[in-house]
Amino acid sequence: MGQWAYKVVYIDYRGRISCEGLETLIGNERRSTFARRYMNSLGREGWELVSIQPLTANSAYYIFKRPAQEGDFAEPAPQAASEATPSQASGPNIENA
């Protein structure tokens, strides 16, 4: 089975799209045109919309996926709290009974 790459895009229909640290602000166009233009650019790059997670009446997370390509996993994932050494862990120690 192949691997997938995912992209999470935050769209605020009041005038902003945020994806992987890059902000795109609405110009002089309708909000729906602005979102459609952005999503069409992702489609040209091979991204397919697979889910929408509404946050408020004016914003949502849009999740896209595509078959993994070279460079999709270039950044190392942050270390999970369960993998951190005790000196690196933050918060209280939790013991299971």
CA 65 to CA 58: how far, in whole Å?
23
What local confidence, expressed as pLDDT, does residue 95 receive? 52
Would you list the domain boundaries of the chain?
A: 4-69
What local confidence, expressed as pLDDT, does residue 76 receive? 61
- The model's pTM is 0.69
What local confidence, expressed as pLDDT, does residue 70 receive? 81
What local confidence, expressed as pLDDT, does residue 89 receive? 46
Q: Give mean pLDDT in consecutive 10-residue pieces for the chain, a chain of 97 residues.
A: 89 90 88 89 96 95 93 67 53 50
**Which CATH code for domain 4-69?**
3.30.1410
What local confidence, expressed as pLDDT, does residue 91 receive? 47
